[in-house]
Chain A
Amino acid sequence: MSQSTPARVFLKGNEAVCYGAIEAGCRYYFGYPITPQSEIPALMSSELPKHGGQFLQAESEVASINMLLGASACGARAMTSSSSPGISLKQEGISYLAGSELPGLIVNISRSGPGLGGIDASQADYFQAVKGGGHGDYRMIVLAPHSVQEMYDLTMHAFDLSDRYRMPAMLLGDSLVGQMKEAIELRPRPEVELPAKDWIVTGKGERSEQRIVKSLFLGDGELEAHNRHLQAKAEALRANEVMAEEVALDDAELVLVAFGAAARIAKTAVRMARETGLKVGMLRPITLFPFPERHLARLAETARRFLCIELNTGQMVEDVRLAVNGRREVHFYGRPPGTGSLPTPEELYEQIRESY
């Protein structure tokens, strides 16, 4: 790419994920179609071959996550994508990726549930993404874009974090950020230094040592040590990789906390509140894990009250309450999905007035 400012391109969020992945050096995609993310496999199937990559529509979600595991074990940047019910099917593989310390990107353009639910914008998969939908004591990097530009940028960032910490990463979106179109800059991949992949299993060849990628640890004390090692990586993420956007927080008495689509809608509500003289700001977690708990603890010293807004019946609010730790009231406004049930900025503004 040229050094000058890249031209703006009008893209769907789902398409931006593909261009971000390819710019980040991802050359392997494994998936199975499901609404509202099917633009991702569709575009990857036409784009990856142009870059010497491989697109594979697997026979199932379970197969595709395990293909990702295999590609990652061989050192490749690889990804899969799906939507909520499909992501549920991938949980076993995600747990194995975490246990085997393998990087890889899982994109969840989530829809509503439980069960088959519907295809509307929903944030009902927060718990599954952040608390670990698979078995075992693991953490996963979770990034939540709220614009098409971020769908592109955070896809690249997710690959870098995933490689650095040898941990699977999830990009958690929904049909609003996936289907929405905006003009974005296809920025060049940021230059970052990453540790060498000196663990990949590509055949022993002339090497003296044997490399093994596994998640089974049966030796005395071995599994405890492994779990402590995984937790140390999670701690390092908490210390170093938290990202959050601060909107009009300087003198904010009421602080909104929202991520992804809900935050995007709430931005306009914050603007409306400011125009009517209400001191309202917003903290938008960009990394859902690691969660911006220190940001919230700091805000709990100055703000009067918090209002958490989600497209579900209350998930992230539990983490907000933990971070605020009883020092301030935390109100909640949730909207479970349903056709046409996205909250409007006007409705969120009313909630702000009620909580203020």
Chain B
Amino acid sequence: MTYDVFMAGFGGQGVLMMGDLLARAAIFEGKNVSYYPSYGVEKRGGAATCTVVISDQEVGSPVIGQPGAAIILNQLSCDKYLEKVRPGGFCLLNSSLIELPANPRDDINLLSAPLTEIARETGGDRLLNMVSLGAYVTATGAVDAASLEKALEQALPKRNHRFIPMNIEAIKRGAALVEK
């Protein structure tokens, strides 16, 4: 089984951290993984994208033309990448910042939710990526939510471990979007 997901937003939304965490979670599950980030030279505000491929086999290309899933967090990325999602795939859109096109795609499983607002309710805008990740893994089953928790412990420096419960709460809020 192979899962590939493309994530896009602007710098500062946590796109790269989200991909990194997903990759770490999959490694905990014994999978082969590639994580390929691509971003502008700006610290904040530029385009930030990454691709994560999770597989039981050797991972071939870390770059995917038509990803099986996408997490799109801002308008610019939506205009550019929504059309690339593979037919039959899954796409999560952040409706807080994205106005849906007049004819959104009907050949994919499209979930549009006010992710930034949900993040804000949960504890802050910066939880946007965790809300998104929770929705993605619940919709696709790419990794277990429990593995994400382990990934958070590994990826975050000890001094920031006190924020982990808040992040897990955000992941759960994201998961609830799919479950209901």
Contact = CB atoms under 8 A, between A and B. Distances in A.
B60 A345 contact: yes
A345 B27 contact: no
Nearest to B32: A183
Contacts of A183: 27, 32-33
Interface in A251-309: 264-269, 271
B37 A10 contact: no
B61 interface: yes
Interface string A212-231: 00000000000000000000
Nearest to B20: A181
Interface in A71-116: none
Interface in A310-356: 340, 342-347
Interface residues of B, number: 21
B1 interface: no
A342 B33 contact: no
A176 B64 contact: no
Contacts of A267: 58, 60-61
Interface residues of A, number: 24
B61 A181 contact: no
A268 B60 contact: yes
B65 interface: yes
Contact of B63 (A8, A176, A181): A176
B59 interface: yes
B23 A265 contact: no
A262 to B, nearest CB: 10
Interface in B30-57: 32-38, 41
B34 A182 contact: yes
Given A265-B61, A271-B60, A10 B36 contact: no
28 contacts: A8-B27, A10-B23, A10-B24, A119-B41, A176-B36, A176-B62, A179-B36, A179-B37, A180-B37, A180-B62, A181-B34, A181-B36, A182-B32, A182-B33, A182-B59, A183-B27, A183-B32, A183-B33, A264-B61, A265-B61, A267-B61, A271-B60, A342-B63, A343-B63, A345-B63, A345-B64, A345-B65, A347-B65
Interface of A: 8, 10, 35, 119, 176, 179-183, 264-269, 271, 340, 342-347
Given A180-B37, A183-B33, A264-B62, 15 more contacts: A8-B27, A35-B41, A176-B62, A179-B37, A179-B38, A180-B34, A181-B20, A181-B36, A264-B61, A267-B60, A344-B64, A344-B66, A345-B60, A345-B64, A345-B65
